[in-house]
Structure 1
Amino acid sequence: MTTPLWTSEAAEAATGGRATRAFVATGVSIDSRAVAKGDLFVALKDVRDGHDFVVAALEAGAAAALVSRIPEGAPADAPLLIVDDPLKGLEALAAAARARTGAKVIGVTGSVGKTSTKEMLRAALGAQGRVHAAEKSYNNHWGVPLTLARMPAETDYAVIEIGMNHAGEIRPLTRLARPHAAIVTTVAPVHLAHFRDEREIAFAKAEIFEGLEPGGAAILYRDNPHYERLARRARRFGARVLRFGEAPRCQARMTGLALGAAETTVSARLHGREALVKVGAPGRHFAVNALAVLLAVEAVGADPARAAVALGTWTAPDGRGSRWRIEMGEVGLDGAVHLIDESYNANPTSVGAALDVLACAEGEDGVGRIGRSRRIAMLGDMLEMGPEAEALHAGLATHPALDRIDVVHCCGPLMKAMHAALPPAKRGVQVADSAKLADQIGRLVDAGDVVMVKGSLGARMARVVDGLKAMGRPAPERAAGDPDGDAD
């Protein structure tokens, strides 16, 4: 039998609400379309009022609904937990879940790399205890409390991703999560539509230290120009500062890097000891953040050596560097397109990292119409870049990795600036949106090519990814010599 997550009595005590009848919930959901049997459905107000979907959620098997009023059409005996405000009720469940567990909690923020770092931590700690982390990028004002409210009491380690696009958003979330260790992956020009400069972004990211448990660790990227600013803020809130990167005196210092087709091997010194770490995805950015992961693992009392072994089995999440082989023709006899899916989000730093990965990728010669493998970038707009958006897009055209990239196709009004700045020999198509780019996939890509797709979520570059996958038979791409994806 599944262990109850929330009984009506515990939920009443946590929220101060009133249950119309007894219930036992084994999960928490805010989406009536994804309700699982036994979930407590929380009727949040967003674009639509969640109260409009309570009846559907109960019919789908929800154990009860957290509401501020009795919804229209609800049965007289409907199991409801009535509170003043469903979001406040969700936050109260989160606080109670955090209070009742003995789990060690790691908070993760940063301008880029939050979700992949969270997933590395899940893999690194998974062999050492029961790990709780959100399945998706639930990192905002409802995502963090939802993740915490779903946390079982018997959790050993929790990983909480915390994001923001305005100042003041991280502060209440970190105070709710109360992490024992907090990672700031980096500070970069992201959400500049809401900040005057990177300095303001750094101060906003530093809010994560305000929720640290006494004696907690702040894990910071020493090579970032805002390191000192972050370190001062961390120490102000009583944190011990741990450094990762390539700079001297880092507790986790990268001394060498080898990028493979589907993995990265990192030479490092961890507290002065030599170490070799394999990460199951290619990319310098993944390697750097893996060092932060090892420091966080150690900070919460787990074994970094076992964590390092586990990182070899980790693969990048969908939309954040996942690799696909799309076989063409019967059983791949016509070759394959190699896809690097970076479609989830984009900013100058993450686009540069993705271009670096593409520049090192190897396709297949001797297949397809052309017979020569090409490295192809398909880029959509970077959003929320503020008044410098056009210049930031144009600046991508000078990235050093482009020397090893054959062609760049662009879509969206902002990417026009990059397209215009590209050398003519590398200038592919420029179209209005991702739908139009997806429509042309068949004539832009050939078997043997390596294609990297990148853009902000609002640019909807997943349509391009779907178009590429529809060309053939897609399957996750494994490391060479590792057909089953198993670690050495």
Structure 2
Amino acid sequence: MTLWTAAEIAAATGGRVEGDFAATGVSFDSREVEPGHLFVAMKGEATDGHRFVAGAYEKGAAGALVSQPVDGPAVLVADTTHALDDLARASRQRTSARIIGITGSVGKTGTKEALADALARGLRGPVHRSIKSYNNHTGVPLSLARMPAETAFGVFEIGMNHAGELAVLTRLVRPHVAIVTAIAPAHSEFFASEAAIADAKGEIFQGLEPGGTAIIPHDSPHRDRLIAAAEPYAGRIWTFGRDKAADIHAIDAIEVESGGTFVTACLPVADVSFTIAQAGAHWVSNALAVMAAVAAVDGDLASAGLALADMAGLAGRGERREVALEGGTATIVDESYNANPASMAATIATLGAMPAKRRIVVLGEMRELGAGSADFHAGLAAPILAANVDRALLVGEGMAPLGRALEGRIELAHLPDAAAAIDMLGGTLAPGDAVLVKGSNVVGLSRVVAALATDKS
């Protein structure tokens, strides 16, 4: 199915068609190009995408969006970065979809995936979502440009690490519903306080369509700050949380044998009972935000509940893998994609609730925490001890304060990199072990998961 014709791309971007074509998808990473795609040759600080145009054609790209002549069908523009933004605006303009934007310090991607699944389960039309964590100044316009015109619901993750960034992106997305999942000290290197982080996340409301809905975490200490940020732009403000004063709240939340939670939730439109497949109190919060958004776009709440019950963990964000060993299995909890103090504490608590003969954490340092980094790392000692962790492998120089806080209290090793963690843990995994692997993405702990999650029986 055609996503964009060359003429439509040229009309959206002010470009000139150099050889007609029709595209079925859009990519700006030549490694992700599939037959029929439009390849956008972006110029960055490290490289120039025009170097990869020929390779994109070889992989089957239907055409390219370029700022210099190339040997193949293309649309020629003055600046490909600006042109991608223009294509995103055109995509948003041509659709009648109900659009949901999601931001927050933690829980963005999981909530985005759960919400997209919940809307799709309702069978009320095609659902488009951001893939991976494409949530920045290039990922958001790419995700918009990939949205088919006939989409019924669009779910977009919007991120930032500096003030002002989210305000620009939300005006591209123009959501009918804007969600803030939670506020935590992520990217605090770039902010004077957690309140400043809340202000930056609150920029998402500036892009709301007239009469749109703002969905805000009631239990956050920054709730009132977020409400104040939403009031000039939102037609309706809903809060969600465990507190009974929240507009959307959990009447009951009962852990079930499978590790998930059975929730009875009160919403402005109805009370709904459902099971969340994912473990942890943070997933109760995520699910309440999902249900609030489904209600806000008049989606099917019963189908949304079924989707939450079926949702599997995401690679790097809670996926559980059973590793066959001689005499039994071990469980790997893959949280390797990213980390900040709030998400670390939440997932460590989830590990503590798991039945296991031995609980092990492989934790990578948390980046972009600024002057408070040492205290944030040392502060993980309390949740680790509360979770009855038996062994901790700490990876990276930034983990030194946590190592000092735990020294003499549990079995401990401080390691320089992911390879050392693989070497230390690989031969000692035993049946009944539960292993949590989590750290900032740049630490590379996904390699630990890949090495451990191999049949060793």
Q: TM-score range by the shorter chain?
A: over 0.9
In the TM superposition, residue 264 of structure 1 has moved relative to its aligned partner by 2.2
* Unaligned ranges ≥5, structure 1: 364-372, 474-488
Q: What aligned pairs does 1:60-459 form with structure 2 within 5 A after superposition?
A: 60-70=59-69, 74-75=70-71, 78-128=72-122, 129-260=125-256, 261-271=258-268, 273-329=270-326, 334-363=327-356, 373-399=357-383, 402-422=386-406, 424-459=408-443
Output the amino acid matched with 2:109.
Answer: T
Alpha-carbon contact 1:171-1:210 (below 8 Å) kept:
yes
Q: Given residue 112 of structure 1, which amino acid in structure 2 is its aligned partner?
A: V
Q: Distance in 2 between matches of 1:425 and 1:471?
A: 32
CA distance in 1, matches of 2:33, 2:384: 47
8 Å contact 1:346–1:382 — kept in the other structure?
yes
Q: Given the two structures, how large is their TM-score scaled by the length of structure 1?
A: 0.90
Q: Does 1:39 align with 2:33?
A: no
Q: Rate the CA distance shift 1:33–1:391 in 2: closer, same or farther, 3 A.
A: same
Measured after TM superposition, the shift of residue 401 of structure 1 is: 5.8
CA contact (8 A) 1:356 1:401 kept: no
Q: Give the CA deviation at 1:459.
A: 1.2
Letter in 2 for 1:464: V
Q: Distance in 1 between matches of 2:418 and 2:262?
A: 34
Report the 3-state secondary structure (helix = DSSP H, G, I; strand = E; otherwise coil) of the residue aligned with 1:414: helix
Q: CA deviation at 1:273?
A: 4.7
State the alpha-carbon separation in 1 of the partners of residues 68 and 4 from structure 2.
20
TM-score w.r.t. the length of structure 2 is 0.96
Q: Indicate conservation of the 8 Å contact 2:272/2:301, yes or no.
A: no
Shifted more, 392-401 versus 306-315: the winner is 392-401
- Hey, what's the Cα distance between the residues in 2 that align with 1:237 and 1:180? 11
Q: Is the contact between residue 325 and residue 430 of structure 2 (CA under 8 Å) also seen in structure 1?
A: no
Count of aligned pairs: 453
Q: Does structure 1 conserve the Cα–Cα contact (< 8 Å) formed by 2:244 and 2:250?
A: no
Q: Following TM superposition, by how much is the alpha carbon of 1:298 offset from its aligned partner in structure 2, in angstroms?
A: 1.1
Change (3 A) 1:272 1:82: closer
Deviation at 1:17, TM superposition (A): 0.2
Taking the aligned partners of 1:464 and 1:405, their CA distance within structure 2 comes to: 18
Out of 22, 25, 28, the residue aligned to residue 27 of structure 1 is 25
Deviations 1:10-46 (A, max 9, x none): 1111000001111100000111122100000000122
Report SS of the residue matched to 2:118.
helix
Over the aligned positions, Cα root-mean-square deviation in angstroms equals: 1.5
What percent of counterpart residues are identical?
Answer: 45
Question: Is the 8 Å Cα contact of residues 114 and 185 (structure 1) preserved in structure 2?
Answer: yes
Gapped runs of 5+ residues in structure 2?
none
Report the Cα distance in structure 1 between the residues aligned to 2:355 and 2:269, rounded to whole angstroms.
35
Contact preservation (8 Å) 1:391, 1:417: yes
Tell me, in whole angstroms, the C-alpha distance in 1 between the residues paired with 2:255 and 2:115: 21
Quote how far apart the aligned CAs of 1:267 are: 2.8
SS at match of 1:202: helix
Q: Counterpart in 1 of 2:49?
A: 50
SS of the equivalent of 2:155 reads strand
- In 2: Cα distance, 1:403 partner to 1:236 partner: 43
Give a deviation string over 1:310-356, Cα, whole Å, max 9, x none. 21111221111111101124xxxx21110110000000000000011
Q: Which region of structure 1 is more displaced relative to structure 2, 378-387 or 462-471?
A: 462-471
Once the two structures are TM-superposed, the CA of residue 272 in structure 1 deviates from its matched residue by: 8.0
Contact 1:359–1:401 (CA<8 Å) still a contact in 2?
Answer: no
Per-residue CA deviation, residues 227-259 of structure 1 (Å, 9 max, x unaligned), is: 000001100223411011012321211133233
Q: Choose 464-473 or 150-159, whichever is displaced more.
A: 464-473
